[in-house]
Amino acid sequence: MKLGGVFLILGEGISPDVGQRVWSLARAIEASQPGWLLDWIPSYNRVFIEFDANKASCRSVVRWARELLPAAGNTDAARLVEVPVAYGGYDLPDVAARTGLSEDEVIKLHSGTEYRVYAVGFTPGFPFMAELPPQLRLPRREVPRVKIPHLSVGIAGVQTGIYPQATPGGWHLLGRALERIYDPYREEPFLLAPGDRVRMVPASGEVPQPPQTLELLAEDGRPALKIVEPGLLTLLVDGGRFRQGRYGMARSGPMDAYSYRLANALLGNPSGAPALELNLAPPLIEALSDVTVALAGYGPSTSGHPEARSFRLKKGELLRLLPGQAGSRSYLAVAVGFAAKKFLGSASPDLKGGIGRPLAAGDVLTAAGSERRLFARQWWLPQLGVRKKVRLRLIPGLQANEEAWQSLLRGDFVVEKADRMGVRLGGSSVPGGEVTSEAIPVGAVQVPSGGRPMLLLSDRGTVGGYAKPAVIHPDDLWKAGQLREGSRVEFVAAEGERLLCQAEV
């Protein structure tokens, strides 16, 4: 599978008329869902389509959308959802002072407006809603909060929104919702969806507690391995969560899909079978039965060097691994694959959304079936770096311009911080800034106003408002998933097929 993407542009700016075309197309896509479709994410004036480039092309996807849109019509069948809100405290006094209104007037204006959900993203279930009354429009806070309480109701510019989880954020807070916007235990986890009409209703009461983390470890199956020491962020992942981006769910899955698929291939497992992602500091693992496993990647290994091989563990044997020297992640698969529960089609965790969790000491991992006789195998791993740098090919992004493009290709970059959401680079500065919030492709190179690029990876938010002048070529995403603090990065222009485009429909 190779990721391709098309931004379908349905108008300019933020308006109900443009939004209506976006919502109609999004509903038509949901009803159609051809086999090559990997995801679709609506935003204010466009829909991002992610497709399998081995089965479709930018041109064929645009043609399909243009044929689909007239049949979608413009009938507004949107739900009206009322959300109870306990107004007060937080930034309400400051908003009143800055707008020249009383606190009661702020509440009356905010609650007296019917909003439309234009997009859901940032975190699972976060609704981007507009339009805020002109009297309440303020720019984002100059210094974002490190942590905003869950269910906080915020405003910024023409937008209002509700934070389903406790996260960082720079919006002005007027109060808190009294109903969960997102709850993975509900039959319908998301209270709001793109196109919904929303009214905030002043109310009093207790703010609901956040839902408990949804457990994805399976209890049935053949006991295979036990976590004795958890290591650093050891996760059970499958191929990823597809066709859920419109709700703000991250792709998740493996950061290095190449090594993940190789670990499964060494055992003859299905390509999407759950496997362990090992990150920097390895876990200590005990075999609970005689079992065949495969280890592949550039992080933790039996030698400290990149490896890809299968081998046998006997019952009671401890698997002791060394930190990797070349990269950050390796994948440990078991014959027939690990058993796991699924949420929205995937066993991979979405840590922001409370889906799954890092493995802990004492966790037991079960195999999905009986093991057949297997023989030890090994495979060659491609080189990760070139001249002590990791070379990543780029394709132009939606905000591509000559200055930003050349700054990326000629710059010298070093990894300052890396996690599953993305990689923050230091070194050369790149022109960037704010844009109207829109979908974020996996691998996008995002550049805020400060000029420091970020590579947005598996757990990135699905919608964001910063310039994205480039996107990592999908064949190099596995390399980006191996970056660690101190890694040096070199960007080069990709050649060949067109994998990201935009078109008016």
CA angle 66, 70, 75 (to 5 degrees): 135
The 10s digit of each residue's pLDDT in 6-32 is 999 999 989 989 999 999 999 999 999
pLDDT band at 497 (very low <50, low <70, confident <90, very high): confident
Q: For 301-354, give the DSSP string.
A: BSSSS-EEEEEEE-TT-EEE-B--SS-SEEEEEETT-B-B--BTTB-S-BGGGT
Write down the pLDDT at residue 76.
63
Mean pLDDT of 220-241: 96
pLDDT in tens, 307-363: 999 999 999 999 999 999 889 999 999 999 999 999 999 999 999 999 999 999 999
pTM of the model: 0.93
Residue 376 confidence (pLDDT): 78
What is the reported pLDDT for 75? 60
Domains recognised in the chain with CATH numbers:
3-72 (3.30.1360.40), 80-202 (2.40.100.10), 222-367 (no CATH), 390-504 (2.40.100.10)
Average pLDDT over the chain reads: 94
- pLDDT of res. 437: 87
Range 246-254 average pLDDT:
95
Q: Give just the sign of the alpha carbon dihedral 30, 46, 63, 36.
A: negative
pLDDT per residue over 176-222, tens digit each?
999 999 999 999 999 999 999 999 999 999 999 999 999 999 988 89
Which of 108-112, 124-128, 200-204, 464-468 has the least mean pLDDT?
A: 464-468
The string of DSSP letters for 240-292 reads ---S-GGGT----S-SSHHHHHHHHHTTT--TT--EEEEESSPPEEEESSSEE
Q: In the predicted model, is pLDDT for residue 291 greater than 90?
A: yes
Question: Rounded mean pLDDT of 495-500?
Answer: 86
- Residue 372: per-residue pLDDT: 72
pLDDT of residue 383: 87
User: CA dist 337 to 255, 270, 300, 390, Å?
Assistant: 18, 8, 20, 31
